[in-house]
Amino acid sequence: MNGGRSKRLREKSVFKIVGIVLLMVLVGLMFTIVDRLPVIGNPDSAPNRHVSDYYIEEGPELTHSPNLVTGVLADFRGFDTLLETTVMFLAGVSVAMILSNRLKRHWDAGIFRKDENFGGYEVKVIMPILIPVIIVYAFYVLMHGEVSLGGGFQAGALLAMAFMLYIMFADLGKNKFRITQHFTVCVAACGVFIYFLTGFLCMINGGRFLEYEALPFSAEHGAELHATGILMIETGVTIGVMATIITILEAVVERNSLNGRS
């Protein structure tokens, strides 16, 4: 891509004007149909008639989870959640793979001082209290995904946030808690694999993929197996999400230290 010619093209105001006109057309189009969309809470509109009735009436008993959002996400449409977790894993692998290219130092941003020490007793006292609380809360959110708000994605993100806080504020001279990106990618792969394994176990035992009634565990009535299945897949999602977020963070931080500022 020759920089000179395309730079001049980019700055031509014709393209900007055309872009703004098209944007106005799109916004106008959206405005004209926004009053024809179904009203929230109207029980006669199409989205609330066909499939939602079944979900609301039969959902909580069939999937054994009072939180209907988790019920739909992890049970009725559990396959979509497997694919979304795969997308997260894919994002982690891609970012780590692209950023691991050892380029020469292209930019010189001398803004940040070299001798920054996040010392002070606010950090040294509050962080050791806050980080374990976040970790315990993450496990709470994971286990209570079916009953109240929560689920796998939130729990994984909270665990990763605890790790991030530790990396940013801990005194890294003393304990270098450095993990390689290969390791975190493997952990993410294990997380997604746990999800895949749950479905595969159901398949081996004679049911369809992700049919929790066919899990090879013993339970009193079939609905409890749903709860077990949902817990297993949420664990897989948690591990996958946590490892992906840590991978991306490590990739960016390592890129910084390659460029000479750490």
Partner 1 sequence: MSNMIISNLPVLVVLLPLAGALFCPVISYFSRRAGRLTVIAFAGTSFVLSVVQLLRITDVGKISYHFGGWEPPFGIEFSLDSLSAVLLVLISGTGFVSTIYSLPFFRGKSRFRSFGYYSVLSLLICGLLGMTSTGDVFNLYVFLEITSLSGYALIAMGGDKGVLSSFRYLMIGTIGASFYLLGIAFIYGETGTLNMYDMSGLVGPVLSSGTTMVAMAFFVVGFGIKMALFPLHGWQPAAYTNAHPGAAPLIAGVMGKVPAYAMLRFFFYVFNANTQYVERFLVVVGIMSALGMIYGSLKAIRQTDFRSMLAYSSIAQIGYVGLGIAITGYYGLMGAVIHIIGHSMMKSCLFFCSGAIRYRYGETAMERFGQIYRKMPVTCAAIVIAALSMVGVPPLAGFFSKWYLALGAANMGEYIFIFVLVISSLLNAVYFFRLFENMFMNKNVADGSKGIGAYLAVKAEKKAERDSVPFKEMAATKEGYKGRLEIPPAMLFAVIVSALGIILAGLFNAQLVEILGPAIREVV
Partner 2 sequence: MGILLIEAVLLLFLIAITIVIILDKDLLSSSIIYCAFSFCAMVLYIMVGAPDVAFTEAVIGVISTTYFVVSLRTTDRWCK
Q: Which residues bind partner 2 (CB under 8 A)?
A: 40, 67, 69-70, 107, 109, 111-112, 149-151, 153-154, 157-158, 160-161, 164, 245, 248-249, 252-253, 255-256, 259, 261
CA distances 51 to 39, 110, 259, Å, are 17, 58, 54
Backbone φ and ψ of 245, nearest 5°: -65, -40
- The option from partner 1, partner 2, none interacting with 237 (CB < 5 to 8 A, set by class) reads none
Give the nearer residue to partner 1 in terms of CB position, either 36 or 114: 36
Identify how many contiguous H helices and E strands the chain contains and give both numbers. 9, 0
d(CA 191, CA 234): 9
d(CA 262, CA 41): 52
Give the nearer residue to partner 2 in terms of CB position, either 112 or 121: 112
Where do contacts with partner 1 occur on this chain (CB under 8 A)? 1, 29, 32-33, 36-38, 45-52, 54-55, 75-80, 83-84, 86-87, 89-91, 93-94, 96-98, 100, 181-182, 185-186, 189-190, 192-193, 196, 203-204, 206-214
- The option from partner 2, partner 1, none interacting with 245 (CB < 5 to 8 A, set by class) reads partner 2
- The option from partner 2, partner 1, none interacting with 248 (CB < 5 to 8 A, set by class) reads partner 2
SS3 state at 67: coil
Give the nearer residue to partner 1 in terms of CB position, either 96 or 158: 96
Tokens 């197996």 appear where?
225
Segment (H or E) for 181: helix 181-204
